[in-house]
């Protein structure tokens, strides 16, 4: 069924406040509603035992409390990775992935249905762009899993915006969603526990730097010369490497925060020492960390992951040159929950 009511998760606190004013209710009702959503994780208006009946009815008439319908849950064999397929109110679908690491519990959320950037090695890019998610749809992925975990008295420790879509192509909704989840009187999820990953949309990195937020930033590099990067990441033609590195340096000098670079090692394409050397030249002296990951397989790409030995040689070269670097654990590959594998197929 298509839900036509606006989502309550699209509202900021000031919008809830306005709703309360229009209803001629006392101001403190806005806080009660906010706490119910983001503290008690209520999933319907009926849960508000502290609100008058009239207001409960009004809330459920006006707003939807659930615009994400879980269609499918897939658990990886390791028991540490869980992927959910959600249906949105217009029937489009997205995927969200929960990963347990020892004591940490990290959620990988989507910001768009599909992606317009067309990176050749990425399943989301291969499906094309359908639409942006609203801030509420981004927020609701988190709230869904917060509820899911709370059943076992577990909590999220990190949120990474590395699911479907390019967060900086949907900048406003992305930042609004993070701000809403960060709100101390509500969900109170620390800004430093978010990581945004971007393909490298230069003007938005600049804007983000100037806003001087505590959110972590990762930039997907994958190649250290323009010819190769443009072949893998078409948007590199618009935002070429040198300008991209300049804005990354601007980010680090403005915010004094470390930046991460993502590098998916693709067999015979970007895993030789020549690329590693060019990479060290690009980022020398920058406060940064390089995350290497073996490419995850996708349907429409013939690219293969590098073998383990080559990955270690690449990593050792960077370390020897003084670049902090690690090989990221691959997770949930067999359920297509790994980086770049999300495409919401059914
Ligand atoms: N659009 C953003 C965030 C989503 S993709 C971005 O591109 O950064 C999240 C990460 O997965 C990015 O670093 C992306 O380059 C990487 N990725 C995409 N396809 C991949 C694949 N097949 N194997 C490994 N990593 C991949
Ligand atoms: Fe989009 Fe990121 Fe995939 Fe590129 S890697 S197509 S930017 S989701």
pTM recorded for the entire structure: 0.96
Main-chain dihedrals φ then ψ at residue 324, nearest 5 degrees: -60, 135
Q: Give the Å distance between the CA of 78 and the centre of ligand 2.
A: 26
Q: Which of 115, 119, 122, 339 is catalytic?
A: 339
Q: What is the atom index within ligand 2 of the atom nearest the CA of 340? A: 3
Query: Quick one: which ligand is closest to 168's CA?
Result: 1
What's the 154 CA to ligand 2 centre distance in angstroms? 30
Q: Which domains does the chain have, with CATH numbers?
A: 8-62 (1.10.150.530), 69-345 (3.20.20.70)
pLDDT score for 338: 83
CA-nearest residue, atom 4 of ligand 2? 119
Going by C-alpha positions, the residue among 194, 190, 197, 192 that lies closest to residue 168 is: 197
Tokens 């998760």, residue located = 9
Q: Which ligand is nearest to the CA of 267?
A: 1
For residue 248, what are its two tokens?
């990354």
Distance, CA of 223 to CA of 236 (rounded, Å):
10
- For residues 112 and 166, the answer to whether their CB atoms sit within 8 Å is yes
DSSP secondary structure, 57-79, as one string: HHHHHH-BS---EEEEEEE-TTS
- Which residue minimizes the CA distance to atom 17 of ligand 1? 340
- 339 flagged as catalytic: yes
Residue 111 near residue 173 (C-beta atoms within 8 A): yes
**Which is nearest to 313 in space by CA: 276, 284, 346?**
276
The two tokens of residue 280 are 């060290």
Grade residue 322 by pLDDT with cuts at 50, 70 and 90. very high
CA angle 78, 83, 86 (to 5 degrees): 165
**In which band, very low, low, confident or very high, does the pLDDT at 89 lie, cut at 50, 70 and 90?**
very high
Q: Is the pLDDT of residue 2 over 70?
A: no
Give the dihedral of Cα atoms 241, 279, 162, 185; nearest 10 deg: -90
171-193: pLDDT as tens digits: 999 999 999 999 999 999 999 99
* Backbone φ and ψ of 124, nearest 5°: -65, -45
> Tell me, what DSSP letter sits at residue 26?
-
Query: What percent of the chain has pLDDT above 70?
Result: 99
115 is catalytic: no
CA distances from 327 to 18, 50, 235, 339 (A): 48, 50, 25, 13
Question: What is the model's pLDDT at position 3?
Answer: 63
Pocket residues: Cβ below 6 A from ligand 2? 115, 117-119, 122, 124-125, 165-166, 199, 220, 340
């Amino acid at each position: 069924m298509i839900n036509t009511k606006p989502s309550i998760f699209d509202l900021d606190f000031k919008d809830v406040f306005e709703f309360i004013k229009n209803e001629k209710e006392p101001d403190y009702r806005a806080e009660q509603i906010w706490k119910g959503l983001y503290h008690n994780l209520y999933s319907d208006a009926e849960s508000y035992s502290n609100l008058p009946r009239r207001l409960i009815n009004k809330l459920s008439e006006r707003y939807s409390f659930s615009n994400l319908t879980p269609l499918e849950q897939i658990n990886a064999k390791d028991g540490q990775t869980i992927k959910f397929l959600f249906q949105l109110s217009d029937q489009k679908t997205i995927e969200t992935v929960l990963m347990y690491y020892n004591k940490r519990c990290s959620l990988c959320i989507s910001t768009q249905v599909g992606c317009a950037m067309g990176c050749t090695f990425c399943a989301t890019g291969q499906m094309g762009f359908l639409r942006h998610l609203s801030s509420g749809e981004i927020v609701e992925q988190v709230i869904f899993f917060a509820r899911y975990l709370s059943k076992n008295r577990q909590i999220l420790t990190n949120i990474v915006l590395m699911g479907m879509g390019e967060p900086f192509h949907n900048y406003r909704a992305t930042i609004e969603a993070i701000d809403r989840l960060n709100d101390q009187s509500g969900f109170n999820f620390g800004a430093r526990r978010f990581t945004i990953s971007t393909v490298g949309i230069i003007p938005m990195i600049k804007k983000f730097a100037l806003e001087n937020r505590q959110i972590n930033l990762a930039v997907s590099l994958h190649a250290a010369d323009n010819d190769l990067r443009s072949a893998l990441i078409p948007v590199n033609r618009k935002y070429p490497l040198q300008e991209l590195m300049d804005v990354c340096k601007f980010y680090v000098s403005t915010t004094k925060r470390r930046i991460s670079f993502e590098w998916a090692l693709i067999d015979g394409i970007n895993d030789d020492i020549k690329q590693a050397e060019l990479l060290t030249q690009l980022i020398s002296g920058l406060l940064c960390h390089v995350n290497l990951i073996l490419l995850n397989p996708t349907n429409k790409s013939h690219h293969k992951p590098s073998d383990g030995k080559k990955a270690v040689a690449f990593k050792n070269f960077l370390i020897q040159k003084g670049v902090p670097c690690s090989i990221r654990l691959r997770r949930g590959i067999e359920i297509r929950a790994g980086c770049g594998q999300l495409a919401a197929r059914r």
